[in-house]
Chains A and B, each alone.
Chain A
Amino acid sequence: MSLLRTENVIMQFGGVVAVNDLNINIKKGELAALIGPNGAGKTTAFNVITGVYTPTSGKVLFTPTDKSGTATEIDITGKKPDKITALGVARTFQNIRLFKELSVLENVQVATHLNTDYSFLSAILRTPKARKGEAQAKADCEFLLERLGLIDLRNEKASSLPYGQQRHLEIARALATKPQLLLLDEPAAGMNPQETDELTDLIFKLKTDFDLTIFMIEHHMDLVMEISDHIYVLDFGCTIAKGTPDEVQNNPKVIEAYLGVDADVED
């Protein structure tokens, strides 16, 4: 069953076509990757999916499963980012976007705000419902921090964390929105090989433990080839290849996009 589909999505900025005719189909429970050279339109594709941009044309369709277990396909094209997040799509950012002045715990708690079922008046009056909600949210967040190895840092300012842990915090924060689809924008950027390996394990574990479907942009090919079920390759906004890691690796167009055309041929 497909969880996320895009139908002929085109995103144009003036004369620049950042994403051209994007058709992806991510099945529930799989781990898909979006790769491509710099400037290929990968992050733009994410921004279209999460509602930051409204596509020039085309549709984005998301099929969340509600509490009773029924799945309904919803057209999320051009919806506000917070509405899309509430439906079950969470994301991390390529250039880390934490709430710098807030503590680690508060960063994660913000992401539980969409599930508050009490008004600001009950929050001020600290009604039993509000207290219960706050306590529950805090417990959930602490559980997530525990899972991502940040629990001892919960009272630190987010900006004081080392780089790798800031990336982990971004993932914890995204998970706190209780997503069904998690979009990771270059989770391993700037990490050394050992950290990348650890992250690979972590992503894999989180995927099974939280019953997630993951769609990620990544440049570390080892990571991508190791854990992805499906790979989409973008170049200049166009999808030049899609398929399993093996298929993509041997696709001549992909090799061309990454390594360029062999110049010797013409000589």
Chain B
Amino acid sequence: MNETQNSLGAYLKLHWKTAVFLVVLLIGIGLADIFVDSYMRRLLNLCAIYVIVSLAMNLVNGFTGQFSLGQAGFMAIGAYTVAIFTVPVESRTAIFYLEPMAPFLANIQLPFVVALILGGLASVVVAFFIGSPCLRLRGDYLAIATLGFSEIIRIVFTNTQSITNGALGIKSIPTISSLWWTYGTALLIIIATILLVYSSYGRAFKSIREDEIAAEAMGVGLFKTKMTSFLIGAFFTGIGGGLFAALLGTVDPKQFYFTLTYNFLLIIVLGGMGSISGTIIASFLVTLGQEALRFLDEPMAFGLDLPIFRPGLRMVVFSFLLMIIVLFYRKGLMGTNELTWDFMAQKFQSIKKKLSRKKTSTEGGGK
């Protein structure tokens, strides 16, 4: 007992900054949960969901180097699972008015957490069947297959009227509004990803990204390791999709167009393929940035009817900003670095050095 206390004390001493940061973060979420208005609340919730899904995508794309584009599909599976199993039984006849819900599902209602985990697991099962043939191949086959899969899922969900209510979608899903659901899950997933990436498994993932032939020669089983990463990614994405459904309160196939995947691709490229903290930062930047630029879509943005302010300009500007970032930070904001205390101290030192050098050089110039 005493020993564990000692080790906990030693651990806190070593990581006190992180501990303090976590406490501040939790208090921050708690305060935000009490004070923010419903608009900001939804936006913050969306940020957290984007963090979850982007992190899952980065695990597969950034850390393991497998180009997968199935995020929208896996999210759809998670979202529909939550929708189907949490919609109150009494309102189901009203929702499924074209064709009644399949009898084997009609009376099953599960608690939100159970449905959420079930959604994750459903994604895993589907991912296993996609991964089994594709992950054996080298190259970009996985990208093509996952891309196709996510379109197939959308079309399947549009046509399975008695299960997913087709194009009408499922409404009146019990919503979550508390920030704790999304941020709690996001925190758990962030921590799990960090622990995974800094373990033997994480190193095996990265070795495949760096050099498949060398990784295999060092005893890393390519298929098994890629599959592990792909399934973990699918699980997290399914969870993210489930939260997404519960946040919006409605799901329909149109939400899961391929463009949804683009958002996550953008986030991981922007944040840095292979950086957890980069992904988190970029998730917030992109989600909040897209919202902040919304005024560009309105014809009367500055009280004048300027001809360029038309719906769509927001994405033009956004794409332009993205191109600039890709041009100047080719590896994303963080590259493969992490925003650790050491990293920040280093950056701080180098900035300080640069500033002082500038100062001395201008002084020298003055004399």
Give 12 CB contacts A-B under 8 Å. A81-B217, A85-B218, A97-B213, A97-B214, A97-B217, A101-B210, A110-B204, A111-B218, A114-B220, A120-B196, A120-B228, A120-B232
Contact of A114 among B192, B211, B214, B219 (CB under 8 A): B219
| Besides A99-B214, A133-B200, 17 other A-B contacts (C-beta < 8 A) | A82-B220, A86-B219, A93-B217, A97-B217, A100-B210, A102-B207, A109-B203, A110-B204, A110-B206, A113-B204, A113-B218, A123-B195, A123-B200, A123-B202, A124-B192, A130-B199, A177-B219
Instruction: Tell me the complex Cα distance, A55–B182, Å.
Output: 54
Residues 167-187 of A contacting B (Cβ, < 8 Å): 173-174, 176-177
Query: Residues of B with Cβ closer than 8 Å to A?
Result: 192, 195-196, 199-204, 206-207, 209-211, 213-222, 228, 232, 274, 336
In the complex, the answer to whether B219 meets A85 with C-beta atoms within 8 Å is yes
B331 CB → nearest A CB, Å:
10
In the complex, the answer to whether A85 meets B203 with C-beta atoms within 8 Å is no
Considering only CB atoms, which chain A residue lies closest to B202 in the complex?
A: A123
In the complex, the answer to whether A110 meets B218 with C-beta atoms within 8 Å is yes
Q: Which residues of A contact B211 (CB under 8 A)?
A: 97-100
A51 CB → nearest B CB, Å:
8
Instruction: Tell me the complex Cα distance, A177–B221, Å.
Output: 13
In the complex, the answer to whether B207 meets A99 with C-beta atoms within 8 Å is yes
Considering only CB atoms, which chain A residue lies closest to B214 in the complex?
A: A97
Q: Is A239's beta carbon under 8 Å from chain B?
A: no
Given contacts A106-B206, A114-B220, contact A93 B214 (CB under 8 A): yes
Considering only CB atoms, which chain B residue lies closest to A85 in the complex?
A: B219
Q: Which residues of B contact A153 (CB under 8 A)?
A: none
Residues 70-118 of A contacting B (Cβ, < 8 Å): 80-83, 85-86, 90-91, 93, 97-102, 106, 109-114, 116
Q: Is A225's beta carbon under 8 Å from chain B?
A: no
Instruction: Tell me the complex Cα distance, A90–B216, Å.
Output: 11
Q: Which residues of A contact B215 (CB under 8 A)?
A: 99, 110
In the complex, the answer to whether A101 meets B220 with C-beta atoms within 8 Å is no
Q: Which residues of B contact A137 (CB under 8 A)?
A: 200
Instruction: Tell me the complex Cα distance, A243–B89, Å.
Output: 83
In the complex, the answer to whether B219 meets A124 with C-beta atoms within 8 Å is no
Q: Which residues of B contact A130 (CB under 8 A)?
A: 199
B10 CB → nearest A CB, Å:
15
Residues 146-168 of A contacting B (Cβ, < 8 Å): none
B40 CB → nearest A CB, Å:
32
Contact of B216 among A81, A112, A120, A173 (CB under 8 A): A81
In the complex, the answer to whether B199 meets A123 with C-beta atoms within 8 Å is yes
A124 CB → nearest B CB, Å:
5
In the complex, the answer to whether B196 meets A111 with C-beta atoms within 8 Å is no
Q: Is A126's beta carbon under 8 Å from chain B?
A: yes
Q: Which residues of B contact A176 (CB under 8 A)?
A: 218
Of residues B203, B209, B222, which shows the largest number of chain A Cβ atoms within 10 Å of its Cβ?
A: B203
Q: Which residues of A contact B336 (CB under 8 A)?
A: 101
Contact of A101 among B202, B206, B214, B216 (CB under 8 A): B206
Of residues B202, B204, B217, which shows the largest number of chain A Cβ atoms within 10 Å of its Cβ?
A: B217
Q: Which residues of A contact B222 (CB under 8 A)?
A: 82
Q: Is A257's beta carbon under 8 Å from chain B?
A: no
In the complex, the answer to whether A91 meets B200 with C-beta atoms within 8 Å is no
In the complex, the answer to whether B203 meets A102 with C-beta atoms within 8 Å is yes
Q: Which residues of A contact B199 (CB under 8 A)?
A: 120, 123-124, 130, 134
Contact of A124 among B195, B206, B217 (CB under 8 A): B195
Q: Is A50's beta carbon under 8 Å from chain B?
A: yes
Q: Which residues of B contact A123 (CB under 8 A)?
A: 195-196, 199-202
B211 CB → nearest A CB, Å:
5
Considering only CB atoms, which chain A residue lies closest to B336 in the complex?
A: A101
Q: Is A238's beta carbon under 8 Å from chain B?
A: no
Q: Is A52's beta carbon under 8 Å from chain B?
A: yes
Considering only CB atoms, which chain B residue lies closest to A120 in the complex?
A: B201
In the complex, the answer to whether A99 meets B213 with C-beta atoms within 8 Å is no
Instruction: Tell me the complex Cα distance, A245–B176, Å.
Output: 78
Q: Which residues of A contact B228 (CB under 8 A)?
A: 120
Task: Sort A-B residue pairs by CB-CB distance and give the 3 closest, nearest first.
Answer: A114-B219, A99-B210, A123-B199
Q: Which residues of B contact A99 (CB under 8 A)?
A: 206-207, 210-211, 214-215
Q: Which residues of A contact B232 (CB under 8 A)?
A: 120
Instruction: Tell me the complex Cα distance, A111–B228, Å.
Output: 18
Considering only CB atoms, which chain B residue lies closest to A178 in the complex?
A: B219
Residues 228-257 of A contacting B (Cβ, < 8 Å): none
Given contacts A102-B210, A106-B203, A110-B204, contact A124 B196 (CB under 8 A): yes
Given contacts A113-B203, A116-B200, A123-B200, contact A173 B218 (CB under 8 A): yes
Of residues A90, A91, A97, which shows the largest number of chain B Cβ atoms within 10 Å of its Cβ?
A: A97
Considering only CB atoms, which chain A residue lies closest to B204 in the complex?
A: A113
Q: Which residues of A contact B209 (CB under 8 A)?
A: 101
Q: Which residues of A contact B196 (CB under 8 A)?
A: 120, 123-124
A180 CB → nearest B CB, Å:
13
Q: Which residues of A contact B214 (CB under 8 A)?
A: 93, 97-99
In the complex, the answer to whether B219 meets A111 with C-beta atoms within 8 Å is yes
